[in-house]
Amino acid sequence: MRQKTTGEQNSAGRDDAPADTPLVLVEKVRGAMRIAATCRQAASLGLSAGLALADARAQVPVLSVTDHDPAADLAWLERLADLCDRFTPLVAIDAPDALALDITGCAHLFGGEARLLAEVSRFLARWSDDVRLACGDTPEAAQALARFVPAGVSFESEDATLRRLPVAALRIEEETQTALIRAGLKTIGDLAMRPSAPLAARFGADLVDSLDRLLGSADSRITPRRAAPALRFERRFAEPIARTEAAMAAIGELAEEAAVELEQRGMGGRRFIARFFRSDGRTYDLATESSLPMRDPDVLMRLLNERLAALADPVDPGFGFDMIRLAVPRIEPLTPAQLQLEGGTIAQEAMAELVDRLSTRLGRGAIRRFQPHDSHVPEQAALTLPAVDLPAPAAWDAPQQGEPPSRPIHLFDPPQPIEVIAEVPDGPPHRFRWRRSQHHVVRFEGPERIAAQWWKHAPGKSPGLTRDYYRVEDARGRRFWIFRHGLYETERPDPRWYVHGLFA
């Protein structure tokens, strides 16, 4: 496995100070302003991270100072990671200042590791003037080489170079580092020569682990930001294309390629992402989901066009797109459909297509289906879940024969408070006031007592109050579901009342 790490100075992306004054980023550490990062010029003047700002000012009187903003740094890193997506699908963020790219099986596409490295360097030069790149057998090796080997130094072999690096390259705790140096173990090589058992006994097992990972004797992988899609189809353009319609036409061609590939595998996609890479590095995503696996390019293009029309932030071609990709992250088996005489399959597919189209346009949460949930708490007895996630409808239990409805058709969430007059405090309601009008209870049934879920709460903590539900009908015939919240005297001295739903 070959890995590559790019090291970034975190001030690189947002240098708004005059070019000739040294720039430092400061943050408040235990009440004192301390330097979090420096630009190259400031570093050459002897300033470094951790120095108090007052001391730095004493050393370098002309200093431009900006607040350190870790969130903006991370956002910037995310954007760079998006850009690096064009080299390999496996990109990981190594916060706060590095990216790790898994280039296993990708380098040959660019003509070898060295050519790929040059390409990445040329590409990232547009975004930052202080990028350090290195290839390594493991992610740890790559980041150690990127951080500790000065640029332009060529090394004979990766292993030999790693062995000459200081122990700080292990990225271990400061105390362990100090202890190692005191013991005279200053380089990786010094550690690698020694047997691991005494090292682990004295400095901890973590040290041996990181040493093994650095030298490649233990397996180590990056955790990519996104899992590699099951299938992806790309088109690169020598000349950027400047019209969104032309880009969508290219996506259409990719959709046809995808359909052929999916058909050969007997699969269909559940999720599709079209990604536009703008030549200046910005990317746009159009994502769509389907409730049943599908591969029909026309249907897919219809969904993607829906998505395009529904975007809050429209796709701006700017100077044009130089690459377009269609990824299929989720695939599931899709056998060729057998047409039923009565049209059963077709009806199901047509419904699924309608659901997909509406969910794509209005958001996946807007179109829902009911799903039963095993709970006696009324508001949790049914879930409404996005219909794209539930292609198969759930089965519901039949109602009790010969009984009028015991559950309302409309449920208020949260329940609405009402003022109730009852003849006795723990008795049925007599009259209540809801939405500024009085309702006189003519008929009632109850109480149906629903206790709180005490088994879901830690012992000693109150699980909530018991509810006594009544079905009541007022003089006009409106039927309500109201409850007393808390048992009179045992749970509450003065229980409140709520209307929880309306019956049909």
Site for other proteins contains 370 (CB under 8 A): yes
Please list every residue from 35 through 64 that binds other proteins, using CB under 8 A. Answer: none
The angle at the Cα of 85, spanning 84 to 91, to the nearest 5 degrees, equals 80
**Residue 352 beta carbon to other proteins: minimum distance, rounded to whole angstroms:** 10
Q: Candidates 193, 394, 421, 451: give the one binding other proteins (CB under 8 A).
A: 394
Site for other proteins contains 115 (CB under 8 A): no
Please list every residue from 476 through 495 that binds other proteins, using CB under 8 A. Answer: 476-479
Q: Candidates 136, 269, 378, 495: give the one binding other proteins (CB under 8 A).
A: 378
Site for other proteins contains 449 (CB under 8 A): no
Site for other proteins contains 427 (CB under 8 A): no
The Cα 211–Cα 367 span in angstroms is 52
Which one of the spans 63-71, 148-156, 239-247, 474-482 is the region binding other proteins (CB under 8 A)? 474-482
**Residue 280 beta carbon to other proteins: minimum distance, rounded to whole angstroms:** 34
How far out from the chain centre does Cα 223 lie? 13
Backbone torsions φ then ψ of 443, nearest 5 degrees:
-130, 150
Site for other proteins contains 273 (CB under 8 A): no
Q: How many residues contact other proteins, by CB under 8 A?
A: 61
Query: Which CB, 260 or 381, lies closer to other proteins?
Result: 381
Q: Candidates 354, 449, 457, 489: give the one binding other proteins (CB under 8 A).
A: 354
**Residue 307 beta carbon to other proteins: minimum distance, rounded to whole angstroms:** 15
CB 98 within 8 A of CB 143: yes
Q: Candidates 471, 482, 485, 498: give the one binding other proteins (CB under 8 A).
A: 471
Strands in 154-282 per DSSP E: 231-241, 267-278
**Residue 290 beta carbon to other proteins: minimum distance, rounded to whole angstroms:** 15
For 125-166, give the secondary structure using H, E and C: CCCCCCEEEEEECCHHHHHHHHHHCCCCCCCCCHHHHHHHCE
Tokens of 451: 């206790």
Query: Which CB, 237 or 412, lies closer to other proteins?
Result: 412
Which one of the spans 13-21, 54-62, 103-111, 359-367 is the region binding other proteins (CB under 8 A)? 359-367
**Residue 501 beta carbon to other proteins: minimum distance, rounded to whole angstroms:** 6
The kind and range of the H/E element at 244 are: helix 244-265
Q: Candidates 445, 449, 454, 489: give the one binding other proteins (CB under 8 A).
A: 445
How many residues does this entry show for the chain? Answer: 504
**Residue 267 beta carbon to other proteins: minimum distance, rounded to whole angstroms:** 25
Nearest to 273 by CA among 360, 391, 366: 360
The strand pair at 410-422 and 321-333 is best described as: unpaired
Site for other proteins contains 375 (CB under 8 A): no
**Residue 313 beta carbon to other proteins: minimum distance, rounded to whole angstroms:** 18
Site for other proteins contains 417 (CB under 8 A): no
**Residue 485 beta carbon to other proteins: minimum distance, rounded to whole angstroms:** 18
Site for other proteins contains 405 (CB under 8 A): yes
Nearest to 230 by CA among 94, 335, 334: 334
Nearest to 97 by CA among 39, 184, 10, 14: 10
Q: Candidates 105, 266, 399, 425: give the one binding other proteins (CB under 8 A).
A: 399
**Residue 289 beta carbon to other proteins: minimum distance, rounded to whole angstroms:** 16
- The CB density around residue 453, as the number of other CB atoms within 10 Å, is 13
Q: Candidates 19, 312, 398, 458: give the one binding other proteins (CB under 8 A).
A: 398
Backbone torsions φ then ψ of 152, nearest 5 degrees:
85, -10
Site for other proteins contains 372 (CB under 8 A): yes
The edge-to-edge listing of strands for the beta sheet with 23-29 is 32-38, 23-29, 64-67
Q: Candidates 297, 408, 429, 495: give the one binding other proteins (CB under 8 A).
A: 408
What secondary structure does DSSP assign to 63-128, as a single string? -EEEE--HHHHHHHHHHHHHHHTTT-S-EEEETTTEEEEE-TTTGGGGTSHHHHHHHHHHHHTTT-
Nearest to 485 by CA among 463, 499, 466, 471: 466
Collapsing DSSP to helix, strand or coil, 9 comes out as: coil
- The CB density around residue 3, as the number of other CB atoms within 10 Å, is 26
Q: Candidates 136, 486, 495, 501: give the one binding other proteins (CB under 8 A).
A: 501
Site for other proteins contains 350 (CB under 8 A): yes
Site for other proteins contains 340 (CB under 8 A): no
Enumerate binding residues for other proteins (CB under 8 A): 346-347, 350-351, 354-355, 357-358, 361-362, 365-370, 372, 378, 381-382, 384, 387, 393-399, 401-402, 404-413, 435, 438, 440, 442-445, 471-479, 501-504
